Structure 1
Amino acid sequence: MKPYYTLADLLDEEHPFDAGETVPARLVVIGFPIAHSKSPAMQQAALDAAGIRARYIRIQAAPEEFGEVVRLLRKRGFTGANVTVPHKQAACSLCSDTDALSRATGSVNTLVFQQDGSVSGFNTDGPGFARAIREEFSVDLRDLKVALLGSCGGAGLALAYTCAMQRCERLTLAGRSEEKLQELKNRLSSFFIDEHRLEGASDRLAAHQNNTPRFNAAVEEADLIVNATSLGLKPTDPSPVPPALLSAHHLVYDLQTHDDAFQMEARFQGARVSNGLSMLVHQGALSFERWFGIKPDISAMRQALEQKHD
């Protein structure tokens, strides 16, 4: 099986990509680039454990190719798709119905191709994150003061809305753009108004640019610090949080699925730390539930990911 397929493969009637395969491809992850995706390993493990005869493949598609790729997948009888950077917003626009988080963020990472030809869209990043926090730290988001780094982009936006929708104790949005932070804060403020509490939205929701005195204070006071920035992708990347702000009372969750400077420095300070593999598993499991209406074997998915990770 090829590392990934392309629009040209979908269009090639003479050499169908199922040629020579005993099991048909019925699920896919679409991105640009896509060769690095870990989703095939864990989703294939879930399919095999459930006895579903289907392959999960990668398709690399440039932004201008995305709509045509989805159309051809539907035509070829695919069950659904996962969608990653940079197609999540485009995926949302193709859906005839979406869940609340997708509508709030304008972003979809799971497509379900319905028998009537319509496409349903879901964002499983947020609920996958909530499940991961519960699993890793034995606490729910609603009971935590959260500092979310990289709030306005990519998965960070879904995490921001998830924290707000679950009415976390306090949420500090952090990022580089003051304008985007204030816009997001305004959109989330209604979730933090509670007539039964003395505090108002301004007491429980804040937005600060990175590395300012208010940002530093909010990080120090937080229970949970989440890194949803791109820092950590490269081995030479610095931590998004100055080590002096980290302490043993912190819970640290990093969306990077490998060790990086942030995680290592947090551990050195005595914090409880988790990387993003648990979120990857849980958002993938939620996608599987949307496609088939059954819960996948989480342990099989996690084992496949850990083997791939090693």
Structure 2
Amino acid sequence: MTTELPASHVSHAPLAGVIGMPIAHSRSPRLHTHWLARYGLRGHYVPIPVMPEHLAEVLRVMPRMGFVGANVTIPHKEAVLTLADTVTDRAALIGAANTLIFRPDGKIHADNTDGYGFVANLRQNAPEWSPDKSTAAVIGAGGAARAVVASLLDSGVTELRITNRTRLRAEQIKAEFGARLVVYDWAQIGNMLEGATTVVNATSLGMEGKQPLRIPLDALSPGAVVTDLVYTPLMTPFLAEAQARGCHIVDGLGMLLHQAAPGFERWFGQRPEVDDEARRVALE
């Protein structure tokens, strides 16, 4: 990965932000502002509400306004790939970008750190997690699931089982990611969990305001690492039941925190630590 111009080489205080619509709910500004203060760095990180029809124009003008980069969230994560000058292999594979770097010449570099954040969260909060030569099960086939699938395959899982309420979307992921994927019907979800050492809910089911994830967990192996990308609430019913069955559970907040760290480092020149204080700030 190309190293960008350090923040210290920027004559003004570097600017970064998060682009989306809506964006008021984003926890990223408070997290990045916390890190800037913690490390005594010059810079600002702001929420930037952008309608889809204005995205290209906003991205063109941001480097001239002093922005060194931005995070990207719904609904722009796919569209920015077509607007960037360079795209990392992992962002192209996932089909979405969440991190932009504005180079000194104004060109836009697009990356996806969601998979990195997913794996870093598991390694931090389930130190015994060992994906190599194991079986994983992923529930869901949206953009977040694609990042999870890419990172699990990269981590060495031998078999990755995937299911989605609309089977076609899971089949599309298999077609793109290859032979290690096995697609299960939604009705077979209980069978999919048997023998899996890593189980992931990559849907929004269980999030506040959404329907709970109602699936049979009888086949869960005690000791399996079970994680939910949902972090509102931190303890979803899915995680609570998995914990009651003897599984090691990991909530989704750490993925949010870890995926933010690479961008912060590129924009402001300091790798931030993901610790209890960062979790506290993100939850405020």
- Verify same fold: TM over 0.5: yes
Match of 1:145 in 2: 135
Give the 3-state SS of the residue equivalent to 1:74 in structure 2: helix
Match of 2:248 in 1: 272
Percent of aligned positions that are identical: 34
Deviates more, 1:234-243 or 1:267-276: 234-243
| Gapped regions of structure 1 (runs ≥ 5) | 1-22, 190-200
Q: 1:62 to 1:245 in 2, by over 3 A?
A: farther
Match of 1:196 in 2: none
Match of 1:15 in 2: none
Deviates more, 1:77-86 or 1:38-47: 38-47
Q: CA deviation at 1:248?
A: 2.3
After superposition, give the CA deviation of every residue in 1:247-303 in whole Å (9 maximum; x if it has no partner): 52321111111222111221222221111111111111121223244412333xx51
Moved over 6 A (4+): none
Specify the code of the residue in structure 2 equivalent to 1:260. Answer: T
User: Counterparts of 1:224-263 in structure 2 under 5 Å?
Assistant: 224-234=198-208, 237-257=211-231, 258-263=234-239
Q: 1:259 to 1:108 in 2, by over 3 A?
A: same
Match of 1:158 in 2: 147
Match of 2:120 in 1: 131
Contact 1:133 1:140 (C-alpha < 8 Å) held by counterparts: no
Number of aligned residues: 270
Contact 2:195 2:221 (C-alpha < 8 Å) held by counterparts: no
Specify the code of the residue in structure 1 equivalent to 2:243. Answer: R
Q: CA deviation at 1:157?
A: 0.9
1:309 equivalent in alignment to 2:278: no
User: Counterparts of 1:196-235 in structure 2 under 5 Å?
Assistant: 201=179, 204-212=180-188, 215-234=189-208
| Gapped regions of structure 2 (runs ≥ 5) | 1-11
TM-score, length of structure 2 as denominator length: 0.88
Q: CA deviation at 1:47?
A: 1.6
Which has the higher relative contact order, 1 or 2, with Cα contacts under 8 A spaced 6 or more apart?
A: 2
Quick check: which has more Rg, 1 or 2? 1
Q: Distance in 2 between matches of 1:143 and 1:167?
A: 6
TM-score, length of structure 1 as denominator length: 0.81
Deviates more, 1:69-78 or 1:235-244: 235-244
Contact 2:118 2:148 (C-alpha < 8 Å) held by counterparts: yes
Q: Distance in 2 between matches of 1:294 and 1:184?
A: 35
Give the 3-state SS of the residue equivalent to 1:46 in structure 2: helix
After superposition, give the CA deviation of every residue in 1:76-99 in whole Å (9 maximum; x if it has no partner): 011110001111011111111121
Q: Distance in 2 between matches of 1:44 and 1:143?
A: 40
